[in-house]
Structures are given as structure tokens and as C-alpha cells.
Structure 1
Amino acid sequence: MLVEEIMHRIVHTVEPELSIREAFQVARQHRIRHLPVVKEGRLVGIITDRDLGHALLHMVDDEPAAEALAHPVSEVMRREIITAHPLDFVEEAARLLYQHNIGCLPVVHGERLTGILTRKDVFKTLIEMFGVHQPSQHVEVEVADKIGVLAEVSRIFSQHKTNIHRVMVYPGRQPGRLKLVFRVQAINMLGALRDIVSAGHRVLWPPLPPDAGKPGECHE
């Protein structure tokens, strides 16, 4: 999934010459926390509600609040901006938000602002990608890291009429292992889980009943 598919295309912005008071009003009116600063369509900075509050606290130490609020946004905006491109993958945007501990990513094409993506937008998309917004069950299977193993386990689910909503792949507990995490829809998965174990894989979740037999070693 690409950033352009989930970004907000209507972006509320301010210009560098706008006063801090007016920027506060824009943020309050539209109930937003992040305001890109643009000049002639070009992104030149960004300011958050926290930036505005901190800047104002420092200013009023030296001058009356009314005068501090009259200062231009350009004096308090952040000029070093972490951005995304419309054709970036959503997981790359998530990495940037996490790595830089920021709440939003202005989306730019060249120097022109084309959208904005917030941490909340990315979380919502990742939840949908994991399938946890739908009624489903969580299954974890540890397998050997070999060609065709995902298809093999998926085929077992299919044979038991178990619908797979989502699947994610992670490194296993040991070298040469993979963890397959499924979100599946089924009334009773015990038969499928038994066959997965019989095929030589290890079911990590859900816990199997004692009569299901001990999980075998993964086939190499």
C-alpha cells in the first residue's frame, strides 16, 4: 500500500508571515495538531501545537503575551522536516514516524506539498493490514525457512475450509526458522492444527490440547 492511498489530500497550512495567534486559531478551528508552513506552494517548515505552546512560554518571559502572539510563525517553525513521497510504501512511512519520534509526515512531490500523513493514519492502516479489525483468530506457526513452506501451511488451512484473512512472516526463534502469523476465520481449527503438526511444523499459538501430540521438528 502506498502513502498516496491513505494520506489526507486536503491540508490546512499557514504561511511564514502569519502570526502565532492566527496559527493557534487555524489549529483550533480545524482541530488539528500539525500545521505545514508553505510559501507559494512550497513546503518551508512545520509547526505543531506543542511547538506553539513552548515558543509562547519562552516569549512571554521577555514581553507581554499580546506582543508574543504577534510574532510570525517563521520564528518558531521547524525548518528541518522529515517528509514522505506519495509513492513511498506505508511501512516505510511507519519506520520514519517511529525512528524520528514524530507525529506526522508532510507528503511532498518535489518541493510542493501534496498531502499529510499522521501517526494515527498509519496505525489505522497497519491494523487493517494485520486484519485485527475483522472477526478472526490468531495462529502462529514456526516453520523451516525454505521455499514453498508458506504455500504448504496455507494449503492445509484450505483443505480444512479455513479462510485466511491475513498472513505475516517474521524471523523464527532460531536461525533457519520462520514464524508465520495468520489471521484466520474458522469455527474449529483443531483439525487443521493437527495436520500442521503432522506435517512437521510447530504450532506456537493457540495452545494445543494434550491429545494433539507433540509438535515435531520443522522439516529441512
Structure 2
Amino acid sequence: MLVQDIMKTEVVTLSPDASVSDALQLLQKHSIRHIPVINQDMHVVGIVSDRDVRDASPSILDDEINKQVLSRPIHAIMTTPVITTHPYEFFEEVATIFYQKEFACLPVVKNHQLVGMITEKDMLYAFIQLTGTHSPSTQLEIKVPDRIGVLSDVCQYFTKRYIKIVSVYIYPDNTNPDYKVLVFRIQTMNPMPVVKDFQQSEYQILYPYREDQDEI
């Protein structure tokens, strides 16, 4: 999945000479938390957040100071330089940036011009799509040896039962580095026949959990 598949293309923007008051009004009107600041060439020169505006706002008890601060140009409080991403960047790569930098959003730039915005909410929605949790399905978690061909071998169990796989992803087993956990979402009303198949194999079903596994 690419950034262009999940980014917002209708982006609220500000010019560097816009006022703090302008930013405050746009943030409230559109119920957003960040606004990219662009120049006449659509180049991203900064970004301003609701926190930036809030920190810049004086006491509501002093009208004169309020007017002075709210009339300040946005370039005085915006964050710059701005880290951006590209519409052809992979979702997974951008997720790493969000995690490492603790960002809430990223402007999307193509040919040095702003073409979109991607937020934490967009990332979570993409994760839901990738994992298949948005569609009716049943989840199975299976512990398997970390070896070549194991995914293909496990998929054969679903094929034999004529079960459609909605999604699959993998995460490491925290108890043993020689094993992985395969997480499947499958379309079936009754997963127990295939669960029993796996219980009679070399693989271990982690979810749905069965009390009788404690006896194995």
C-alpha cells in the first residue's frame, strides 16, 4: 500500500504571512490539528499545529496583548524545516517515520509541491485495511518454525477446507527466536474444523485459545 492510496488530497494550508488568528480560525473551523505552510510555488516551508497556536496565545484577560499576538505572522511560530514524504512511498516506511519521530502528520510532496497530507488516523485506517479487520472474518494465530516455505505449507490447510484467506501478517515469537506467529483472517462461520487440523499438526494454535492446550 502506497501513501497516495490513503493520503488526503484536499489540504487546508496557510501562507507564511497569514496571522496566528487565521490559523486559529482554520483549526477550529475544520477540526484539524496541523496546517502546512506553503509559499506561492506550493513548496512546504513550515507547519503549524494547534499546540503552536495555543502556546503563542496570551492570557484571555489582556485584550491588548491578545490583539498583538493574534496578528503576528504565522512564520514566527511555525515549525521549520518540515519532514515530508512522497505519494509513492510505502505505508510501512512511513509508519516507521511516525513511530521514530513521534509525528502526528506528514505533508506529502511531489516535485517539491504539496499534494496531500497523511495523519495518524489515516495510518490506523490503513492498518485496519491491511489486517482485514474491516470485513467479517475469523482470526487465527499460529506459531510456526521460522523456515523457508512454512507460509505456503500452512496455507494448504485452508485450501483443503475451501476457506478464503482475507489477510495474513507475521510477527516474531517473543519466547523463541526460531519461531514466528502467523496471523490469519479467514472467511468461515465455523473455524473449528481447520483449528483441529492444526492441532493435529506440528503447528501450535495460539488463538482461538483452547483450555485443553494446557494439557499438551
Q: Give distance in 1, aligned partners of 2:77 and 2:90.
A: 31
More moved, 70-79 vs 193-202: 193-202
1:42 match: 43
2:142 match: 141
Q: Does structure 2 conserve the Cα–Cα contact (< 8 Å) formed by 1:59 and 1:68? A: no
Structure 2 residue aligned with 1:190, among 179, 189, 192?
192
Q: Give distance in 1, aligned partners of 2:211 and 2:23.
A: 61
Q: TM-score, normalised by structure 1?
A: 0.89
Percent identity for Structure 1 against Structure 2: 36
The alignment covers a number of residue pairs equal to: 214
Q: Give distance in 1, aligned partners of 2:136 and 2:23.
A: 43
Which amino acid is 2:32 matched to? Answer: I
Q: Give distance in 2, aligned partners of 1:188 and 1:16.
A: 59
1:23 match: 23
Q: Give distance in 2, aligned partners of 1:59 and 1:77.
A: 22
**Are 2:122 and 1:121 aligned?**
yes
Which amino acid is 1:34 matched to? Answer: H
Q: Does structure 1 conserve the Cα–Cα contact (< 8 Å) formed by 2:16 and 2:37? A: yes
Write the mapping of 1:174-213 to structure 2, written as runs, cut at 5 A.
174-208=176-210, 210=212
Gaps of 5+ in 1: 215-220
1:152 match: 153
1:9 match: 9
Task: State the Cα distance separating 1:144 from its structure 2 match.
Answer: 0.9
Gaps of 5+ in 2: none
RMSD of equivalent CA atoms:
2.3
Residues 10-65 of structure 1, C-alpha deviations (whole Å, 9 max, x = no match)? 2111011111111212222323221100112111000011111111238998x610
Q: Does structure 2 conserve the Cα–Cα contact (< 8 Å) formed by 1:140 and 1:203? A: yes
Task: State the Cα distance separating 1:188 from its structure 2 match.
Answer: 2.1
Secondary structure of 1:14's aligned partner? coil
More moved, 168-177 vs 112-121: 168-177
Q: Give distance in 2, aligned partners of 1:199 and 1:209.
A: 18
2:109 match: 108
Q: TM-score, normalised by structure 2?
A: 0.90
Residues 96-139 of structure 1, C-alpha deviations (whole Å, 9 max, x = no match)? 12222221100112432111001101101101111111121111
Q: Give distance in 2, aligned partners of 1:89 and 1:69.
A: 39
